[in-house]
Amino acid sequence: MKQSMDNNSIINQYLTSVKKQFEYYKSLGDKTMNQVSDEQLFEELEPETNSIAIIAKHIAGNQLSRWTDFWTTDGEKEWRNREAEFELEDLNSRSEVLKRWNQGWQCLFNAIDSINENNFSELVYIRNMGHTIPEAVNRQLSHYSYHVGQMVFLGKVLSGEHWESLSIPRGKSSIYNAEKFSKPKSQKHFTEDL
């Protein structure tokens, strides 16, 4: 029998889901950076490509701009220098990259935690364009997953045979699926078993 849900339950379920997805993509970035050497963290494969460190810096710059005071100010802050996010002059070590990376994610999580059923219908602005909360959240979830995927790809290329898979390892799909289907059906977020 299907259960009906009230609006507050739907909003809370959505917010819980997106927060878990953001946490998942942060963990993929964390695990990627943990698998590469300090040199590989800053390595650019070609002159027109970005290193893992630059991508992490760009994600953090975007997060700080989008989510700082996002209820009251435009998501493209006047103080943001997007072009500088693709330069490494101010980040010279792994610890500096990780500090910036974690600052960006903390800003995002603080903002997500401020969303509730009372303000869910508010509009927020990015470059003067009004976004509903789901539009703003989904826009950034897509943006960050896109860039984290780039980080993972670079990590895998740079690590070569030393790379430890962050998903179902090649050749293990049947085993993984058999284990999942051996359990009774349940409702849970896909990240709970990772």
Whose tokens are 């997060």? That residue is: 63
CA within 13 Å, CB half, 162: 9
How far CA 76 is from CA of 1, 41, 61, 64, 106, in Å, comes to 46, 27, 10, 9, 18
Q: How far is residue 61's CA from residue 83's CA, in Å, rounded to a whole number?
A: 10
110 has which bridge partners?
none
Q: Tell me the CATH number for domain 10-167.
A: 1.20.120.450
Domain layout of the chain by residue ranges: 10-167
Position 110 confidence tier, pLDDT thresholds 50, 70, 90: very high
Terminal alpha carbon distance of the chain: 29
Q: Is 180 helix (H, G, I), strand (E, B) or coil?
A: helix
Give the phi and the psi of residue 125 in degrees, each rounded to 5.
Answer: -120, 140
pTM of the model: 0.91
pLDDT digits (tens, 9 = 90+) for 6-38: 888 999 999 999 999 999 999 999 999 999 999
Average pLDDT over residues 167-182: 83
